[in-house]
Amino acid sequence: MNDDFLFTDDDTTTEEETSYQKTWKVLIVDDEPEVHAVTKLALSDFTFQHHSLEFISAYSGAEAKELIVEHPDTAIILLDVVMETDDAGLRVAEFIRQEANNQFVRIILRTGQPGQAPERHVIVNYDINDYKSKTELTAQKLFTVIMASLRSYRDIMSIEKNRMGLETIIKASANLFSNHSMDTFINGILRQLTSIINCTNEAMYVTSLVADDHLVDGELVVVTGQGEFADLEGKKVFEVIQPNMKDAFEDAINDKDIVYGDDFIVAYCESHSNHRALLYIANISEELSATDKHLIELFTKNVQIAYDNVILTQDIEDTQREIVMRLSESVECRSEETGNHVKRVAAYCRLFAEHLGLPEEETDNLVLASPLHDVGKIGIPDRILNKQGPLTPDEMTIMRKHSSMGYHILAGSERPIIKAGALIARDHHERWDGTGYPEGKKGKEIHLYGRIVSIADVYDALRSKRCYKEAWSPEQTMAEIKSQSGKHFDPELVDIFIDKYQLFEEVLQQYPD
């Protein structure tokens, strides 16, 4: 076959069919139709990493700008210099790098008039990757420059994917002990893994053996995914993979091992709990090296263990929350109040915190600690706690001791929820005007948590039936709390209560006695 790059009038060439899903996009920018035809012909059987080329044609600089924005994943641009203007191609190169901010595509400048754009000037002043005269570009040289450019593009994209994976890991590492952050963390590691072993990003995701209210015990679901499996978190695995892949998944589970297919991997991830997982990478275009397989083995041995540790931490936190709630409910039951009182107070506190714009961590501490507001009642005798009718002055003195008792029960802990509970127990009966107890604090001397729980507790007490009274109507309750603005309650909190009153009523209906 003649190695000369011969132009032809035949522009009816067809691209070779390929069984692979991915192609390398090549944008041909030239105002001569013959150049498009001969380029496609010369590269019609070209493949790189088992993927063929997908040609996109532009016949002017303006059209090229539109297409590069439409196809940001273009790998190579074969760019003519002289088109509608003498420097149209150079303007396109500037647009790609500066306005489209595409630093990845490889730009090969082709010109039939080198004098219009001297090579030294162009290389120095424009961010292009190669410069070729059309007269020197034989079929073999075109093949060579495309191959070299694709290798460069592949490596650049691998570095970028690695960078994105590292960025994802760093962001997630700031708060690993939340479910969402751990999933993000794993996603970042998966990006790193696939970039290092040069896998395709088209079909890669992690699955986990979990059980919850919605799934059968031991069912496989997607935890995080990339490529075609992105945004499928929570989906059942066997609903999103090809049916012929089911055997490979079951083999990996039964053998607790890695299954290497012709173009895929299904790897069982070791675990100390029942929340085991699988790693699945599909559409692998090259044979994996020993180093690649070693990295995959490291992933399967370590990532799920990290996930297990997060689950254990969350279990400890959930246990702490449950103990707090059950202790609070037991105290309320002594005074003939239902456990739903503390649930409602917690929900009211969240409404206040959100509308005050408190940070998420502070909001959670307040909400989780608020059920402890009356924990000191555990030291109050039943004859006083459940007395039908008004208390005597002596009985009232004893009853008021529950604030101090609650504080001393909880004080001294380093746990954020217990520390918050101590502040709430101490301050939730203080009044804005200084006439409250146990210390007669006023205004912002009273801790914010105490001020919030104070109005939440009183609202719920007024709207609920007690052994000594019937439930007040919404109108009576609203009028009473308005009248206590600046006296009993923080005026800012009263304003929030009035503005969001319907939300408080909805909580009351959600957790009835």
Active site residues: 377
Three-state DSSP class for residue 117: coil
Backbone CA torsion sign across 285, 286, 289, 291: negative
Amino acid at position 349, single letter: C
Q: Are 412 and 379 in contact (CB under 8 A)?
A: no
Q: Is the peptide bond before 438 cis (omega within 30 degrees of 0)?
A: yes
In Å, how far are 17, 74, 111 from 64, measured between CA atoms? 26, 12, 16
d(Cα 77, Cα 60) in Å, to the nearest integer?
Answer: 13
DSSP character at residue 118: -
* Consecutive H or E run containing 346: helix 340-356
In the block, tokens 């410069």 appear at 131
Dihedral pair phi/psi, residue 463, rounded to 5°: -85, -5
Q: Are 61 and 92 in contact (CB under 8 A)?
A: yes
Pick from 290, 296, 220: nearest CA to 264:
296
Q: Are 428 and 462 in contact (CB under 8 A)?
A: no
Pick from 344, 336, 427, 315: nearest CA to 385:
336
Q: Are 436 and 305 in contact (CB under 8 A)?
A: no
Classify residue 283 as left (phi > 0), alpha (psi -120 to 50) or beta: left
